[in-house]
Structure 1
Amino acid sequence: MNVLVLNLTRLGDLLQSQATVSGLAAKGHCVALVCLDNFAPAAALMRDVSAVFPLRGARLLARLDADWRSALAEHRRFVDEVRATFAPDAVINLTPSEPARLLARTFQAQQTLGFVLDELGFNADTSLWAAFLQLASTSRGASPFNIVDMFRRIGGLDALDRPNVSDGLSAAFGLRGPTADEKRDARQRLAEMLPAALPVELSRGFVALQLGASEDRRRWPVGSFAQVARGLARAGYVPVLLGTESEKPLAARLIAAIDEMETKGAAEETGGTAASGKAQVVDLTGATNLRELAATLCACGLLITNDTGTMHLAAGLGVPCLAIFLCTAQPWDTGPYLPGCISLEPDFPTATGPCHPCAFGTACGHDLACRRAIEPAGVLALAETMLAGGASELVQVPGARVWRSVIGADGLLDLESLSGHEDCDRTRLIRLQRALYRPYLDGEEPPELLPPAGLSPETAQAMARCVGEVLSLLHLLQRQGELLSRDPLPTMKTKFLATWQRVKSTLQAQERLALLSWLWTFEAERPGLDLTGILALAQRFARLLERMQQCVVLAP
């Protein structure tokens, strides 16, 4: 069967759909990919893709501004080209935007999965996993699944088997990567750019640093990166600065900061002044295309990075990552999909609890203090330990929650704490969500027996109170529905709808359960859902919450 996968978002999201593409190909399907034209080179690094159809998004928008008829003709030409060349039997749309939904429908395939539109133009996601992926962004503390695994589920694939390792790549998410010649050229280029004071035979290897991020507030300070880069250089490693042309000022600031530290250090050692020394780094910001970036990463023993597309590229190439997640970014949903990678979050407590992660679209009330919470000395020690193949769990990183990527017992990517944060409420809640939400989203019954969540008394009381109230409302809804089915009086309809709304508002009022409020709304408002369907949904929701109640209730 010909399966067309649509991914019209950023570089990282495109690379994270590799596991979905490979899973479909493993089932015997011929897979093609639609992506934005500026990310088409990334698609060339992916495995199991039989054809790539670059969508000229900027050109389409320009035509739309000039003449909507011209834009419509451009759109039609693109669709006709895909259908004539590939003739998709199924379309899987992994992008929740309205234009992507419309495009997916336009191909008129026999089957469309993921983010779709119905015949009236309303959103009609084909799986709860698709709805969950879109809704999870509304509650940053409730994203227990990595987006790679969610993409796979949206594409109709089962849980990942424990990945085998072949040629240094995880079978779950291994990109095709650069050619042997490209890798050789990258190594030669790095060798030629080595500082004169550090000949290649004396170097312990290259370490890549990605200074930029999608937002400034999600970027670890340049000064912190500079301290790590200087420490690596002094230990015999060569820091390699990566990034786009727009990130060259960040690289210049890092080099200047290292020069200043070296000058100050030399002056202190001699008791006087000293001339500035040249920073022992290789600066490739703005100097690589995507394939050259991939080849350069393959020549490095480690990538130290913010949450970026470069991080996902490195993970897909089997390059270990030491990734820093700040503000809205968190590794539970967008961390590197490669076992053994390390992710850091700021451990920044406030009077109302941990600050990170913060919600999208909210102003920071702490002057972005989380950016400065993670101390460079700890990151440097962790990087050196990872490069030496040592025990990362023995390294202390002040100001950080430290997580290591593993494959969980459920076959999905998981994180294990290396910093003693396994017992905090946030982690325990994520564990509970993984145990309960995964079967619910798969349409299965919740597990019969689960251990107590072990939440703090305050959190357990708040959740138990909310869950108990919602369960009472769901039972009331079922009784009202039974009466309504026998005698559909207008007054009973009003009461029934009011109870339905109270279920939503009660869940929404409890921050830790807000995601269930949106999921309840999504399911209850499905087109064509009749009274019988709503009552069945209420029963299923009740079973989920009953299991949750058993887990969060305080021990006697």
Structure 2
Amino acid sequence: MSAKRPILILQMQRMGDLILSFPLMLWLARQFPGHPLFVAAEAMFYKPLMRFSPKATYFPWDSAHQLRQHAFELVINLSIREQAALLADELRSEARLGPTQARDGSRFVHGPWQLYRTSLVRNNRYNRFHWADLNALDIVPEQAMTATRFDPPRTLPPDSASVGLFLGASEPGKRPTARFWAALIHELLGRGLRPVLFGGPAEVGLGREVTTLAKAPVLNLCGTLALEEFGVVGQTLALFITPDTGPMHLAAWTGLKCLNLSMGHVNPWETGPYPPGHFVLRADMACASGCWQCTGDRLLCHDPFEPGRVAVLAARMVAGDPAAKLAGMNLPGLTLFETAREQGLCRLRRLDSAPPDEERLVSRFWQTFFGARLGGRDEARAATAWKDVTASAPKAATALLGHIPEMSRQFTHGVRTGSLLHESFWADSPPVVRPLTGYIQMALANGCHSRRAWAQALELVETLIANCR
């Protein structure tokens, strides 16, 4: 066995979250050569994914006693469950990242980016950092991420016309209806494409409903393939049309070109396809920019997804049209993005020529602000992004600037007394400021509301003022 201490990743989340940990595994192998990599995860997810995973030794959660026998170089907890936080705290390790919880219930989040991630709960409207990048930003240098090259999705020969449709998602609001899928089947067949239905055991009934409604020749594989079999069959497909699901991440990781129908309360900037060269179709609505939970009477973001439009886009993707040509398509109510990388980070590149709106400008500012503050990235980018906000989104700029005196007043009071003037401050902060106030709220709790934690909150406000001059 290697003399170097192992590194451990705790990942108790679902299949998609485990796949989004794969880039971190690759980076860790390069950053810590010779250190064995251990991963503790749900056996039902990791066992079928092992053939696609970077090299690692996997442990099921009911074998945690084996992990206690080791002394680790680093423990990275990517899970939100209490069980994982307790284990991360009690294991012997030189360093830790992510949440830990002591037996007395006290909880601490290690790493500024992991703390930023906790601040996104119900507060991710302006977040533009992908989950896979947030997994790594505390430990992987920017140079290593920038130098990483992911293979583009493969292009099959022109006579390859099989298109996979993954029917399900973790919640009904995150996927199209059975009628949509049935209509899409007809539209695809009319364009010479051969749709194939995919889904796990939970989609067996949906697959039957779709085929009944379609009344058309379509291969229904719902519930018939294990994950490793799906990974192999996917190599024969020209395109995979899918909501935001674990199989979407597996398809993208294995090089199958994806068209992600991003609908419902998902944020494609956080959980869309990670490697570059895939496509995301999203409703062009302000509330769709970082939706945590829909508060409307119904899911209006589903309406623009018309089967005919999706089929035309799919046919052009199968034909090999580059992004530049796809950018000229008429997709009323929808926005098409291509996944790309910028300075080592995943980004969604909007393909139309619409000028940036308030949402895009403010999101870009906060991305550059936190990139400079937490990651040591170029501060000049934040100043430039702010100038764009003031020039093209003056209402947002006014709201943000107008709240700075109140933030200063509240946090100055906190330095003196250890508490806010008014606890309603967090909820009353304007949405445009909440990326910062949300982070500070988590940072104060992480620092036990000490005088130092309050002083650091004031420092963040001072940094904001410096960027907004």
Q: Please state if 1:468 is matched with 2:382.
A: no
- Distance change >3 Å, CA 446–CA 538, structure 1 → 2: farther
Matched with 1:519 is 439
Does the alignment pair 1:15 with 2:19? yes
Q: Distance in 1 between matches of 2:387 and 2:312?
A: 33
| Aligned counterparts, 1:102-251, within 5 A | 102-118=86-102, 120-158=104-142, 160-166=145-151, 204-251=160-207
Distance 1:342 1:535 in 2: 43
Contact 2:27 2:140 (8 Å CA) reproduced:
no
Output aligned runs, 1:448-467, within 5 Å.
449-452=383-386, 454-455=388-389, 460-467=394-401
Partner of 1:308: 245
| Partner of residue 371 from structure 2, selected from 438, 451, 456 | 438
Match of 1:296 among 220, 233, 236: 233
In structure 2, relative to structure 1, the CA distance for the partners of 1:135 and 1:393 (3 Å cut) is: same
Shift of the 451–152 alpha-carbon distance from structure 1 to 2, 3 Å rule, reads closer
Deviations 1:90-119 (A, max 9, x none): 211111221210122232323221122257
Offset of residue 51 of structure 1: 0.9
Map of 1:67 onto structure 2: none
Gaps of 5+ in 1: 57-77, 170-186, 188-200, 260-278, 349-353, 485-492, 551-556
Evaluate the alpha carbon distance shift between residue 513 and residue 235 of structure 1 in structure 2; reply closer, same or farther with a 3 A threshold: same
Shift, 1:292, TM fit? 0.3
Q: CA deviation at 1:382?
A: 1.2
- C-alpha separation in 2, matches of 1:532 and 1:37: 42
Which of 305, 325, 330 aligns to 1:374? It is 305
Q: Secondary structure at the match of 1:138?
A: coil
Q: SS of the counterpart of 1:467?
A: helix
Question: Which of 3, 7, 10 lines up with 1:6 in the alignment?
Answer: 10
Question: Equivalents in 1 of 2:163, 2:79: separation in Å?
Answer: 33
Q: CA RMSD, aligned part only?
A: 3.0
Structure 1 position 165, deviation (Å): 4.6
* 8 Å CA contact 1:152, 1:158 repeated in 2: no
Please, what TM-score do these two structures have when normalized by structure 1? 0.75
Amino acid at match of 1:284: L
What residue ranges of structure 2 are gaps of 5+ in the alignment? none
Local SS of the residue matching 1:116 = strand
Of residues 430, 449, 458, the one that matches 1:510 is 430
Alignment of 1:396-415 (within 5 A): 396-408=330-342, 410-415=343-348
Q: 3-state DSSP class of the match of 2:437?
A: helix
Paired letter, 1:291: E
**Offset at 1:223?**
2.3
Partner of 1:73: none
Shift of 1:215: 0.7
C-alpha distance in 1, partners of 2:121/2:335?
21
Please say if residues 7 and 33 of structure 1, whose CA atoms lie closer than 8 Å, have aligned partners that are also in contact. Answer: yes
| AA partner of residue 437 (structure 1) | F
Give secondary structure in 2 for the equivalent of 1:137: coil
Offset at residue 43 of structure 1 (A): 4.0
1:440-495 residue CA offsets vs partner (Å, 9 max, x unmatched): 222668437415554588953354234333246427855995xx5xxxxxxxx3xx
- Kept after mapping to 2: 8 A contact 1:305/1:322: yes
Looking at structure 2, the residues matched to 393 and 108 of structure 1 have their Cα atoms a distance apart, in angstroms, of 52
Kindly state the Cα deviation for residue 80 of structure 1 after the two structures are TM-superposed.
2.7
Task: Kindly indicate whether the alpha-carbon contact (under 8 Å) linking 1:466 and 1:506 is maintained by their aligned counterparts in 2.
Answer: no
Would the alpha carbon gap of residues 25 and 535 (structure 1) be closer, same or farther in structure 2, given more than 3 Å must change?
same
Contact in 1 for aligned 2:261/2:282 (Cα 8 Å) = yes
Q: Deviations over 1:46-93 (max 9, x none)?
A: 44333110124xxxxxxxxxxxxxxxxxxxxx2332344x65332111
Does the CA-based 8 Å contact 1:23-1:157 persist in structure 2?
no
- Give the match for residue 88 of structure 1: 72
Conservation of the 8 A alpha-carbon contact between 1:440 and 1:544: no
8 Å CA contact 1:243–1:286 kept in 2: the answer is yes
What count of residue pairs does the alignment treat as equivalent? Answer: 457
Cα drift, residue 26 of structure 1: 1.0
Say if 1:347 and 1:399, in contact at 8 Å, map to a contact too.
Answer: yes
Larger mean CA deviation between 528-537 and 26-35 belongs to 528-537
* Structure-1 residue corresponding to 2:51: 45
The residue that corresponds to 1:179 in the other structure is none
8 Å Cα contact 1:41/1:290 also seen in 2: no
Q: Deviations over 1:326-365 (max 9, x none)?
A: 12112111110121211111125xxxxx342575455422
TM-score (norm 2): 0.88
Q: 1:362-392: per-residue Cα shift (whole Å, max 9, x none)?
A: 5422x22322222222211111111111122
Task: Write the letter of the residue equivalent to 2:461.
Answer: F
- Residue type matched to 2:56 in 1? S
1:356 to 269, 272, 288: 288
**C-alpha separation in 2, matches of 1:480 and 1:127:** 23
Question: How far apart in 1 are the matches of 2:444 and 2:41?
Answer: 33
Cα deviation for residue 155 of structure 1 reads 4.4
Distance 1:128 1:395 in 2: 41
Task: For 1:126 and 1:336, locate their aligned partners in 2 and report how far apart those are by CA, in whole Å.
Answer: 27
8 A Cα contact 2:90 2:102, kept in partner: no
Structure-1 residue corresponding to 2:350: 417
Distance 2:452 2:150 in 1: 48
| 1:235-283 superposed Cα distances (whole Å, 9 cap, x missing partner) | 3322111101221222222222322xxxxxxxxxxxxxxxxxxx23211
Provide the C-alpha distance between the structure 2 equivalents of 1:21 and 1:471, rounded to a whole number of angstroms.
43
Report the more deviating stretch, 232-241 or 124-133. Answer: 232-241
Tell whether the 8 Å contact from 1:425 to 1:456 is kept in structure 2 after alignment: no
- Matched residue SS, 2:93: coil
Q: Distance in 2 between matches of 1:456 and 1:469?
A: 15
Deviation of the 1:221 alpha carbon? 2.2
* 2-structure distance, mates of 1:251, 1:479: 59
Q: 1:51 to 1:87 in 2, by over 3 A?
A: farther
**Matches of 2:79 and 2:452, distance apart in 1:** 32
Contact 1:508 1:515 in 2 (8 A): no
Q: Is the CA contact 2:265–2:294 (under 8 Å) kept in the aligned structure 1?
A: no
Give the Cα separation in 1 of the matches to 2:355 and 2:206: 35
Taking a change above 3 Å as real, the CA distance of residues 13 and 421 of structure 1, as seen in their structure-2 partners, is: farther
Q: Quick one: distance in 1 between partners of 2:208 and 2:404?
A: 56
SS in 2 for 1:152: coil
Quick one: which amino acid aligns to residue 6 of structure 2? N
